[in-house]
Structure 1
Amino acid sequence: MNGTPGQDGTGDEAPKRRGRRPGGQDTRAALIEAAREVFAESGYNDATVRTIATRAGVDPAMVNHWFGGKEALFTAAVQIPVDPAEVLPELLAGDPERLAERILRRFLLAWDEAGGGAFAALVRSVASHRTAVRLLREFVAIVVIDRLARALEVDRPELRASLAASQLVGLGMARYVVRLEPLASADHDTVVAVIGPNLQHYLTGALAAPE
């Protein structure tokens, strides 16, 4: 055959690999940019480390090197002000029937300390509000609430996770994006008192069985 080096004999050149990036911070920034695109396109669950790394033009090992995995890359890409690996043990400690209270206080504390506007910035960080809300809801359901539900060994953990995530993301949208009063300026005790029982029901209460 007359194929030249780098060809498979069909006359088509093999795909060219991108050159190594000049610095570590460039690699990190490229991964964050690629992650935002891939998460927006595929959702949290279907986005893969390999796809993100390929989009960024780096080795997939760089994701673990810089972020430790997909979960931490997501938190960096959309600027979530909490580390799920740190907060989950904190939330699981204590009475399971007060789990909703702990979740809400941690949620409010994290976003209020970040200035509140950080939640709105998160929503604006991807292509559209609808995509951002979907991504955040998926992440909260899969990475946080589903793990909590399975640790509690309750029934229908996936349904509970999606219900609880919708409650939390809805709270974030109303308080920080739409700034719906009086919820936007309500103190933490008030928010916990009025939303906590419903969230706790989603987490540990009896869910209606399908007919």
Structure 2
Amino acid sequence: MTTTEQRTLKPAGWLRRNAWALVAIAVLLPATLGIMFANQWIGYFEEWPSRPVDAAAGETLDYGNARWSIVATERVPGTSSAGRERDLPDGTDLVVVTVRVDPTGFGPDGVPDLCTVRLEESGGTTPTRSWANGGAISLDGSGPDLVSCSSELKTPYTFDAQFIVPTDAGESSEFTVGISVVTELPEYARFALE
């Protein structure tokens, strides 16, 4: 056997000797990466409002440490006198949703739940667009007293969630209001609006 023939046989011998280790790497590396990726996505969805608990228009819902209901909904067109007084941007409307909160309990720290409120537009069962609560949009210098949940009030109260939406929003679909409390995620309360 010549030296050239011996050199070409050596890599094949190495592959044969390490075949089981190479197969293990080929199987375990993708499996490990898949498990790590899955754990990251599961953690993400556990911290994201992804499972709605639906309530019909006018219905009260127990969620978190409170009882929730939608008291009123108002849409102020940007072209109306009230919209111009509020200085709404061109092509937008203001949607005001009054939410009643009746604290029924308190978190582990003895404080009522804080929440995040979103207005959702959906053409079917899933939201297609959503808007965050815009805070206080005043009229003649006076805005609502509360624009979100309070961590100080332990008696029933209402707040006005305000959303600036495009004028065409909600024309061909329905609006819902999503209320999420951190301790209840991934479930969130979703209310149909009248």
TM-score, reference length from structure 2: 0.28
Structure with the bigger percentage of strand:
2
Structure with the bigger percentage of helix:
1
Question: Which of the two has higher C-alpha Rg?
Answer: 2
Highest relative contact order (Cα 8 Å, sep 6+), 1 or 2? 2
